Structure 1
């Protein structure tokens, strides 16, 4: 142990990265100056104290040092974020290793790098740009990408942080568009598997007859035209496999998935050899699986195997207070991706959005904001612009006899009433001068002409 201490003393003097060392009881034995700066504590004062006492908000199951101490397995290149003793948000990239003596774990040490120089960019984008991407080059998001301050979202992030470091299977439920894959990605990014593949498959996207070969792979000659192909379980080995819309998986295939979860082996179609795989499975469903069990469409044994830890995501209408934050978030992202000036949504526009039922949830909200970026040049989005955009989207459904309501008024009636009032006020203020009224409304002159014709308004009647 003396030789190990000398080694750490040398490392403490010469390394720019933060270093923390604990003994077998979790007591801090080394804490260098860079670590002190990041943690916001005096390094000398924490020597001899328990790690969890120094980091009071840190739970044992969230600590990579305590995890390595317990299991004896290293956790490499792990992204962490937390609030230090000074109340500052910190983002670090850490690698944690056990200290072994005669095959016994006698402590653990962690080396970490401060990512604070990149923090401003990260917060603006709302996502971490992580180094590990899956094969289609999508960014794998962390909890930073889950936008909201509603109590349900705060609890969700806390639960992700707690569950991410475990190997347990997870079942995510919620309506379409609530962000189930985002949660699956966050679980992966905050886990010890974050530097391994994240592979996603929508079970409803391909025919059930092909899903088995996609998941498990095939060997040449197993059926006409079959080739040697690796299944998604093999591609995700060491990482995470996200099975979206698990409720769409054929009943007979569910038993084969259950075997993989129980035994940790897959057998490619046409093969006589099992492949050992280490994959964390995260599944999601947008329908009631318990109801599917009652009508024999989903296996109860698979349900209980998947639902070791359950996450239920709230619908957007259940977290209305987050709409303003989500609008700002998507507006910033779309401004960058579409190379257009940033649009600001005023309070009158936000109030309209809070009245909507949002059957498509966050996905529908993002689509609406993207539509505004495509159709409107103005950078100031107010109630009028928003209602006009919603009307264009909803009018075909209204003509087909589908009733879409906002509060106590039908949408089309409400939009028409609001537009008529605005046009009349603008014409009155400008003495019936159409060009000036169009400027006042922020509309092209031809658009105002079209609306006046639509509502049978004349400039003369407003003088």
Structure 2
């Protein structure tokens, strides 16, 4: 076909090499004898080797710490079966430690294996940072520091919200904190799921024991498995005997954040922990009993996760003994006022400033906006504004200083609406008349009027003050 002929002309050997050299992943190609035939620039960068020094040599000459049994390239050449997402930790001939996640596939010609191609992603920095966080969280394994729970700072008193659903959730979780049942928390990004999780732990009998949080979306599954369940020497190249997070959290609580990103194989192992209360390190045959309360969070609706098959049904039932949904900020607008003043107070103390409040027309804008980033986005907006105001009130004119995010785009898009004096007055009069009409229909009973409008009494009083309604 003409298309295939044209493609062959485009994909010459030189063009393929150029493409491989521009990729962020390392590319290594070996022949049937495991001699290196191609070694791209990315691999050269993070292994510290020049292609001219390795091409033509076998992988065992270049990486002397790897044995044939440990080499994914060797195994694929010998078996013809691909290996996906395999973690490798090794030393090159210069003694530099390399940590990668590799996918290795066979290269065939007329059904005969003639070599293998390996795609490597360097995760050394990510893994080192993750291990540092783990060490901080569990106090380097020392009993004298386990109760300190570095970074654990939230309790139920820190949750700002008069919204009925928020208050109901707080009531449910306060009761649940006294048990050991697993808890599943659903909420959009930025709704404060970890704040609720920490509050549960701090209100529980386990509050003086470890609280360890692990995001399930930041690491490849092969690495996450070792971090959660621990490793034994020889379970993979460079592996050492090391306890996992479940062992380190024994007696306490473990938070599995964004569990919707956990693969099925790992979900099965987690289910065993929930059912039997034991963990087994990678490469080991011995079960280790653990007493850990599991709190999991997801930013996708469980119903959709179950429908798509991303979340195993039996694991969902085990995790969701207690299940709560944190409402997004757009569904609890009556809390915006209190949240704004909470964040102003927080950043007054942090930045040593004396901002007294925020003008009502700015609050009006906040009430109209949908806050796709939820409470976290609101906090970022207030923090940004506090950088430009030293004292007095935050005013509408200060919004022009914002230089990021969806809220900035919204302000720019809606500028004509908020600067049109006539249009604004019409909106003002309409809202005022509507509120007066509802209050009159209840013979001046503010509580009943608020219920009729579906808002809190305090918010109605705020509107009455704003519109000068007596």
Q: What TM-score do you get using the length of structure 2 for normalisation? A: 0.56
Separation in 2 of the partners of 1:417 and 1:376? Answer: 25
Maintained 8 Å contact 1:132/1:140: no
Tell me which of 416, 422, 425 is aligned to 1:413: 416
Describe how 1:203-214 pairs up with structure 2 within 5 A: 203-214=216-227
Aligned with 1:281: secondary structure? strand
Tell me which of 284, 302, 309 is aligned to 2:297: 284
Q: Which one is further off, 353-362 or 374-383?
A: 374-383
Separation in 2 of the partners of 1:396 and 1:345? Answer: 17
Separation in 2 of the partners of 1:384 and 1:245? Answer: 38
Maintained 8 Å contact 1:133/1:198: no
Maintained 8 Å contact 1:260/1:266: yes
Distance 1:395 1:331, change over 3 A: closer
The unaligned stretches of length 5 or more in structure 1 are 1-130, 399-403, 422-463
Residue number in structure 2 paired with 1:158: 171
Distance 1:277 1:354, change over 3 A: same
Describe how 1:255-266 pairs up with structure 2 within 5 A: 255-266=268-279
Q: Deviations over 1:169-214 (max 9, x none)?
A: 0000011110100111111111111111111011001112211001
Describe how 1:126-145 pairs up with structure 2 within 5 A: 132-134=147-149, 137-145=150-158
Describe how 1:313-328 pairs up with structure 2 within 5 A: 313-328=326-341
Separation in 1 of the partners of 2:162 and 2:147? Answer: 28
Maintained 8 Å contact 2:388/2:398: no
Separation in 1 of the partners of 2:303 and 2:405? Answer: 34
Separation in 2 of the partners of 1:379 and 1:275? Answer: 59
Deviation at 1:395, TM superposition (A): 8.7
Aligned residues: 277
Deviation at 1:154, TM superposition (A): 1.4
Residue number in structure 2 paired with 1:230: 243
Q: Which one is further off, 371-380 or 161-170?
A: 371-380
Separation in 1 of the partners of 2:401 and 2:418? Answer: 10
Residue number in structure 2 paired with 1:435: none
Q: Is 1:393 aligned to 2:393, yes or no?
A: no
Aligned with 1:269: secondary structure? coil
Deviation at 1:397, TM superposition (A): 8.2
Deviation at 1:415, TM superposition (A): 5.8
Distance 1:229 1:394, change over 3 A: closer
Q: Is 1:312 aligned to 2:306, yes or no?
A: no
Tell me which of 251, 268, 281 is aligned to 2:264: 251
Separation in 2 of the partners of 1:156 and 1:132? Answer: 27
Describe how 1:24-423 pairs up with structure 2 within 5 A: 132-134=147-149, 137-386=150-399, 388-390=400-402, 392-393=403-404, 404=410, 410-414=413-417
Separation in 2 of the partners of 1:319 and 1:395? Answer: 19
Residue number in structure 2 paired with 1:90: none
Separation in 1 of the partners of 2:221 and 2:339? Answer: 36
Maintained 8 Å contact 2:186/2:325: yes
Separation in 2 of the partners of 1:237 and 1:226? Answer: 22
Maintained 8 Å contact 1:395/1:412: no
Q: What TM-score do you get using the length of structure 1 for normalisation? A: 0.57
Deviation at 1:337, TM superposition (A): 1.9
Residue number in structure 1 paired with 2:54: none
Deviation at 1:297, TM superposition (A): 1.8
Q: Deviations over 1:420-451 (max 9, x none)?
A: x9xxxxxxxxxxxxxxxxxxxxxxxxxxxxxx
Aligned with 1:171: secondary structure? strand
Deviation at 1:412, TM superposition (A): 4.1
Residue number in structure 2 paired with 1:121: none
Deviation at 1:378, TM superposition (A): 4.5
Deviation at 1:413, TM superposition (A): 3.3
The unaligned stretches of length 5 or more in structure 2 are 1-145, 425-470
Dislocated runs of 4+, deviation >4 Å: 394-398, 415-418
Separation in 2 of the partners of 1:374 and 1:415? Answer: 23
Distance 1:303 1:413, change over 3 A: same
Separation in 2 of the partners of 1:366 and 1:132? Answer: 30
Separation in 2 of the partners of 1:378 and 1:192? Answer: 43
Deviation at 1:289, TM superposition (A): 2.3
Separation in 2 of the partners of 1:417 and 1:233? Answer: 59
Separation in 2 of the partners of 1:396 and 1:182? Answer: 23
Maintained 8 Å contact 2:152/2:198: no
Separation in 1 of the partners of 2:405 and 2:319? Answer: 39
